[in-house]
A and B are shown apart, each in its own frame.
Chain A
Amino acid sequence: MAKDTPLAIDVRGLNKHFGARHVVRDLALQVREGEIFGFLGPNGSGKTTSIRMICGLLTPDSGAGSCLGLDVMRESREIKRQVGYMTQRFSLWEDLTIAENLDFVARMFGMPDRREAVTRALADLGLEGRRNQLAGTLSGGWKQRLALAACLLHNPRLLLLDEPTAGVDPKARRDFWEEIHRLSAAGITVLVSTHYMDEAERCHRLAYLAYGQMLASGTGDEIIAGQRLSTWAIEGGDAPGLSEALRALDGVEQVASFGTRLHASGQDAARLTASLNAFCAERHLQSEPVAPSLEDAFIHLMRTSTDPDA
């Protein structure tokens, strides 16, 4: 993605309080047009609130910026027209049929060629034969596809997807992400929040949020590099007690399992290497230095982040 591509989202200093809780702190975010931007962070880190503020569903308490060239503080209604927002939970009407749901959404966005748009969306979904089925009777994967179709109906320039693949099987998830990449290639900007590492790796750029603050952002490689971690992979990770023993070593800050291998990471490479070499020699374990993965980086971020209010 070229650096001079115009920005779809450009906000600074966004804040939101719910009562006494400060849920989003000074959020600054730049997303380029046509980019797939991933939002990561633990539950309750402010991802959903951030997305809602950007798409005009919530008014920020303070801050400034633009979304699709429109002011986020004042032009939320105009923003809504050009944004497709897919909620975390299935939020179409379960007691309406598939076709009725699409038709209703098309009406809400005041589409002039409503019928054709609905027919086209049904054809793209491959659901023409089931157009009169109640949305509530669809399986999880189909609900997700219908929800995506509904928020693409009005040809938005920006898609905001809030944990779109939660509870969806791997095949449907892969199909979903192929669709996201197709949309991105067609010029639609996508902001997506997720908990899955494989999905994070499919994003062009990422941001990591915790306690309402953005702790890191950039490409996956930039975020990994930013944590200045050294990582060793140790074979035999399924041995009982091994990960606890590793964690107790000097210089090891975190241990994460990847299948049968364990990743031990720390920021002080020399101390980490010294203690691991001694430990592995003693226990006859195979170990080798590896490039830290995105997951190692996120575990590090999650571990070192602290609640400013606590």
Chain B
Amino acid sequence: MSNFSLSRWLGIVIKEFTQLRRDRLTFGMIVGIPLLQLILFGFAINSDPKHLPTAVVMHDTGPFSRAWVAAMENSDYFRIVGTAASDADATALLARGEVQFVVSFPRDFNRDLVRGLRPQLLVEADATDPTVAGGAISVLNQLGQRVFTPDLPGAQRPPGAAPGRVDLRVHRRYNPESKTAYNIVPGLLGVILTMTMVLMTGLAMTRERERGTFENLLSTPATAFEVMTGKIVPYIVIGLIQVTLVLLAARGIFHVPMRGSVLLLYALVLLFICANLAIGITFSSIARNQLQAMQLTFFFFLPSILLSGFMFPFRGMPEWAQAVGNLLPLTHFLIMVRGVMLKGLGLDMLWSQVGAITAFILAVLAVGIKTFRRTMD
């Protein structure tokens, strides 16, 4: 190390810092990303979600039914969002993902309870994401042990530890074996598409600009629309190939069911791909080089996986985080892809998701085309 020159070495360090400072976007990311992520994800992520939306079907509105409902709410794990008139309505709520649980009190529940007949209490859980329902279901089991004990007539009170007064039946709908793969594999479809589509379109455009070939393209009569769409189509094809690969693996390796229409799934995938390409193009017109395009992609990708309900339960997040998550197309895509594959939903159940993604595309394109036009000039 006898040749080491401190001033020379310092020169290199200073030059590096100066260049870093000039690259404002990178600098912003270095400072902004950790802060933003710490705040965003530190507060938002919660793997033991509470206050899960629950619907009640009351075929018997007696005092014990109401006591049970009150006990559920008091446990903090359930938030009663409403009463469904019929079992069919309740199932629809569950399918659309509006509620996580449906509790059905059968006719004569109160009478049978008093008589010690152990009436059935049916709890249907949306188990597409097994981790969400886990904590709440174990709480339900405890409720069954003690809720009614103080209210029952003396004769009905058991001397020691009581076996359940009710016959609690929990149905884990859509994923009865609580397989995580059922939830993760369809979710990965969205994550993989987000990653590759945004990154590849972002790079495709900035690469041309960085190498100077964009100028050549502009000197030809090609229009902005031709350039933009022409550069996108190959990535749509790549996206569809990726989807096919993931679906084949889901089927062949993970045995994830495909309860809905494959055609519908591809149509929804196409919509989702469009949303990601729109983001990619907008990034490519903002970023000045490929590195910046890459950073912007990660800036978008991280909240997408963390706040969309892919990695952590969406319902476990505070409301503001859910609001952020609701802006992201991945959040809605996850609901759609899990809905189609696991619940067998049709398009009629998914309009609100389709609408949200379409709105996202339009909003992003409005910004993207504007900045893109400017770069063409």
Minimal Cβ-Cβ distance residue in A for B222: A108
Asked if B142 lies at the interface with its beta carbon under 8 angstroms from chain A, I say no
Query: Which residues of the partner chain A approach B218 to less than 8 Å between Cβ atoms?
Result: 57
Minimal Cβ-Cβ distance residue in A for B223: A77
Query: Which residues of the partner chain B approach A58 to less than 8 Å between Cβ atoms?
Result: 377
B376 to A: closest C-beta gap in Å? 9
Query: Which residues of the partner chain B approach A91 to less than 8 Å between Cβ atoms?
Result: 211-216
A74 to B: closest C-beta gap in Å? 14
Size of chain A's interface in residues, with CB distance under 8 A? 21
Inter-chain CA distance A80–B224, complex, in Å, is: 14
Inter-chain CA distance A80–B376, complex, in Å, is: 14
Minimal Cβ-Cβ distance residue in B for A56: B219
Inter-chain CA distance A242–B374, complex, in Å, is: 53
Asked if B221 lies at the interface with its beta carbon under 8 angstroms from chain A, I say yes
Known contacts: A58-B377, A59-B377. The answer to whether A90 contacts B212 by CB under 8 A is: yes
Asked if A93 lies at the interface with its beta carbon under 8 angstroms from chain B, I say yes
Known contacts: A58-B377, A59-B377. The answer to whether A77 contacts B221 by CB under 8 A is: yes
A104 to B: closest C-beta gap in Å? 9
> How many pairs of A and B residues are in contact by the CB < 8 Å rule?
41
Q: By the criterion CB–CB under 8 Å, are A92 and B216 in contact?
A: yes
Query: Which residues of the partner chain A approach B138 to less than 8 Å between Cβ atoms?
Result: none
Q: By the criterion CB–CB under 8 Å, are A80 and B215 in contact?
A: no
Most A CB contacts (10 A, CB to CB) among B215, B220, B377 go to B220
Query: Which residues of the partner chain B approach A279 to less than 8 Å between Cβ atoms?
Result: none
Inter-chain CA distance A58–B212, complex, in Å, is: 16
Known contacts: A59-B377, A94-B211. The answer to whether A87 contacts B219 by CB under 8 A is: yes
Query: Which residues of the partner chain A approach B213 to less than 8 Å between Cβ atoms?
Result: 91-93
A14 to B: closest C-beta gap in Å? 15
Inter-chain CA distance A151–B216, complex, in Å, is: 9
Asked if A81 lies at the interface with its beta carbon under 8 angstroms from chain B, I say yes
Asked if A105 lies at the interface with its beta carbon under 8 angstroms from chain B, I say yes
Q: By the criterion CB–CB under 8 Å, are B221 and A108 in contact?
A: yes
Minimal Cβ-Cβ distance residue in A for B376: A57
Give residues of chain A (97-119) contacting chain B, Cβ–Cβ below 8 Å: 105, 108-110
Q: By the criterion CB–CB under 8 Å, are A57 and B219 in contact?
A: yes
Inter-chain CA distance A58–B215, complex, in Å, is: 11
B 199-211 binary contact with A (CB < 8 Å = 1; else 0): 0000000000001
Give the residue of B216, B220, B222, B223 whose beta carbon is less than 8 angstroms from that of A87. B216
Q: Which A residues fall within an 8 A CB radius of B?
A: 55, 57-59, 77, 80-81, 83, 85, 87, 89-94, 105, 108-110, 151
